[in-house]
Amino acid sequence: MRKIVVLSFISLDGVMQAPGGPEEDPSDNFALGGWQAPYGDEHFGKEMTKQLSVPFDLLLGRKTYDIFASYWPNHPEIEFVAIPFNKCTKYVVSHEKINMPWENSELITGDVVARLKELRAEDGPMLQVHGSSNLIQTLLKHDLVDELWLKTFPLTLGSGKKLFTEGTMPAAFELIEHSVSSKGAIFANYKRAGEVKTGTMGE
């Protein structure tokens, strides 16, 4: 069985939209693209290199695929990202056929949830989900996220696409790894851990 792992940069108020640059995703008039860039440091680089050094394939939504496909084949100098991204299989979720110029790309369409369950049940490396906010909502709604690798930054953005929306199903997670960068970014990895437990404080 393959694990589906969601890797997201998020603000304190849960926004994940366009961390990498002003033009990354300006949809819905989002004007703060590139908010993650000022928080880069040595620790950040080491953590990202570690997360991309394990065997993985990519599971992406259409918009993120288009962004990545236009960028990473043209930037081999950023080796720790470009090499694994260009080499791995890219599974792309879309409700319609799309142009797929990036090498090793495969379309997932039709009954997306059924196909994702089949893909997850196969043998192979983990499936890393980057960006892909709409796809993540589908995964969370159908309990298809095995791990969350979150990078939380010390700022609020007020608006923008959020990691968790109203369609997220109740689920418990267990913290399995964590660290903090010199600029206050919190790296926290969680694995799925059964149902939500409730109780009364003090009893």
pLDDT at 193: 97
Residue spans per domain, the chain: 4-22+30-185
List the structure tokens of 163: 């990691």
What token pair was written down for 117?
Answer: 């369950």
Sign of CA dihedral 78, 42, 55, 171: negative
Separation between Cα atoms, residue 120 and residue 91, nearest integer Å: 12
- Look at residue 141 and tell me whether its pLDDT is greater than 90: yes
Q: What is the pLDDT of residue 167?
A: 86
Place of tokens 């890393």: 128
Two structure tokens written together for 52: 């991309």
Q: Do 90 and 57 contact (CB within 8 A), yes or no?
A: yes
Q: What is the mean pLDDT of residues 21-43?
A: 93
What residues form DSSP beta bridges with 152? Answer: 10, 186
pLDDT band at 201 (very low <50, low <70, confident <90, very high): confident
Q: What integer best gives the mean pLDDT of the chain? A: 95
CB 15 within 8 A of CB 33: no
Average of pLDDT values for 117-131?
A: 97
State the distance between the two ends of the chain, measured CA to CA, in whole angstroms. Answer: 40
CATH architecture group of domain 4-22+30-185: 3-Layer(aba) Sandwich (3.40)
For the chain, how many helices (H) and strands (E)? 5, 8
Confidence of residue 14 (pLDDT cuts 50, 70, 90): very high
pLDDT exceeds cutoff 80 at 117: yes
CA distance 146 to 56: 14
User: pTM higher than 0.85, yes or no?
Assistant: yes
User: What single letter denotes the amino acid at residue 64?
Assistant: T
pLDDT category of residue 202 using cuts at 50, 70 and 90: confident
Q: What is the pLDDT of residues 69-102, one digit of tens each?
A: 999 999 999 999 999 999 999 999 998 888 899 9
